[in-house]
Amino acid sequence: MDKPELKNFTKPESIKDYPVGPSFSGGHLVSVNSGWRTFKPVVALDTCTGCYRCYLVCPDGVIVKTEAGKVAVDYDFCKGCGVCAHECPFDAIEMVKEDLQK
């Protein structure tokens, strides 16, 4: 399954142009929603066994399986809740302070 496509919302010019119902069809996101995160999960790939427990418990569904049998985190949409790190039985995920300077 592919990642949802990111689209910009354009404000309609007239009240008649506003959609009735959702602004976008399914599979489209209007913004990256991780800007308020304080900590982010960092996966130690040498420690990860590919048990996928983190993948199963992630409330945002931002952990993906890689072809190497490990996991990766989509940081654009990870909110930094730490559930993955808490549930990892091998301590392969560490919550690291987010670097806010870009």
Predicted pLDDT at 98: 86
Predicted pLDDT at 57: 94
Domains of the chain: 5-97 (3.30.70.20)
β-pair type (28-29, 5-6):
parallel
Contact 73, 41 (CB under 8 A): yes
Nearest to 23 by CA among 13, 12, 34, 39: 12
pLDDT digits (tens, 9 = 90+) for 34-87: 678 899 999 999 999 999 999 999 998 889 999 999 999 998 889 999 999 999
Predicted pLDDT at 101: 56
pLDDT digits (tens, 9 = 90+) for 4-39: 677 777 788 888 877 666 555 555 565 677 678 899
